[in-house]
């Protein structure tokens, strides 16, 4: 068996095309969606992520503000900036790129962002709405991106056993909350395993839908997968350097070469979940703008 490849780039393009149409409709009513992306410090990986978001905004007609603050920025200085962005009617979405420098309390930063502009869905108010199934908050970018991948690939989680490897606040927990909802595109039986779970493979072999978000390269081997299962790889890791070139490739939390021979469908890394994260961020920003009308 060779698994069907779930093309995250193609599905993200579908979502982005729909978002661009929504932007055009807003323009007809005199509104341009605005996203502020704040970067504290000069982390190279964070710079890449921020630039990708700003670039995608430009492609879709979304106004963006890229705010770069020095690594020495204090909490009061950052909170002052967030307060200004909260009050700026041209800005509908705010995100502060993670991770910040050690003197920055990320929890306080998230709490300071207006829930109405929390397009990453990290604020406790939006997380609470997510958990109880309310739809007037935001849906978190990577977890909801996974649901969209499943839906547009014709994979219905309803009645299926979904196993999530990882319990982070960014992916594992919100994804479990989304999948367990009594709603279309969800209604799964969800198991979350993590670093404290003995014999993780015991659970993964029973998964109809297996989602790896543990941050360990090639953690999921072929013998941990139920034949025919759908495998969603959220991980992005640097693999071992090539002995000849010295360069390292991006690899996921799943050993793709082994998994593709067992699974029924699988996302690649790169080109799977990654493009969906930015696509949903753009969509959430436009949703925030639409709610101001």
- Among all residues, which ones are annotated catalytic? 53, 97, 120
Q: DSSP letter for 2, please.
A: -
Q: What is the DSSP string of 55-120?
A: HHHHHHT-EEEEEEE-TT--HHHHHHHHHHHHH-TT--EEEEPSSPPTTS-HHHHHHHS-GGG-TT
Whole-number Å distance between alpha carbons of 171 and 237: 16
- For residues 178-212, one letter each, b for 16 or more C-beta atoms within 10 angstroms of the residue's C-beta and e for the rest, the string is bbbbeeebbebebbbbeeeeeebeebbeebbbbbb
C-alpha–C-alpha distance, residues 104 and 75, integer Å: 6
CB 165, CB 213: distance < 8 Å: yes
Residue 285 DSSP one-character state? H
Give, rounded to a whole angstrom, the gap between the first and last alpha carbons of the chain.
51
Q: Which residue has the tokens 């700003």?
A: 54
Taking the CB of residue 292, how many other CB atoms lie within 10 A of it?
11
Distance between CA atoms of residues 177 and 179, nearest Å: 6
**Surface-to-core class of residue 156, CB atoms within 10 Å of its CB (0-12 exposed, 13-18 middle, 19+ buried):** middle
Nearby residues of 155 by Cβ (< 8 Å), 6 or more positions away: 209, 230, 265
- A 10 A CB-CB count for 25 gives 11
């Amino acid at each position: 068996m060779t698994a069907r490849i779930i093309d995250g780039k193609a599905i993200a393009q579908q979502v982005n095309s729909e978002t661009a149409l929504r932007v055009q409709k807003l323009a007809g009513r005199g509104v341009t969606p605005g996203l502020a992306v704040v970067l504290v410090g000069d982390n190279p990986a964070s710079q890449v992520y921020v630039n990708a978001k700003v670039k995608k905004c430009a492609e879709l007609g979304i106004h963006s503000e890229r705010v770069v603050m020095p690594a020495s920025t204090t909490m009061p200085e950052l909170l002052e900036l967030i307060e200004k962005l909260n009050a700026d009617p041209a800005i509908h979405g705010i995100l502060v790129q993670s991770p910040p420098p050690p003197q920055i309390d990320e929890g306080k930063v998230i709490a300071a962002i207006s829930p109405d502009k929390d397009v990453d869905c990290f604020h406790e108010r939006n997380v609470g709405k997510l958990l109880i199934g309310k739809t007037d908050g935001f849906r978190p970018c990577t977890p909801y991106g996974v649901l969209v991948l499943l839906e547009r690939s014709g994979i219905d989680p309803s009645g299926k056993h979904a196993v999530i490897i990882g319990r982070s606040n960014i992916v594992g927990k919100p994804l479990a909350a989304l999948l367990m909802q009594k709603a279309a595109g969800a209604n799964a039986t969800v198991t979350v395993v993590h670093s404290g779970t003995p014999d993780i493979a015991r659970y993964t072999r029973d998964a109809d839908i297996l989602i790896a978000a543990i941050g360990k390269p090639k953690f999921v081997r072929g013998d941990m997968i139920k034949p025919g299962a759908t495998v969603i790889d959220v991980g992005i890791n640097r693999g071992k350097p090539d002995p000849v070139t010295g360069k390292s490739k991006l690899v996921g939390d799943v050993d793709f070469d082994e998994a593709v021979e067992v699974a029924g469908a699988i996302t690649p890394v790169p080109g799977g979940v990654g493009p969906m994260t930015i696509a949903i961020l753009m969509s959430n920003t436009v949703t925030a703008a639409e709610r101001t009308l």
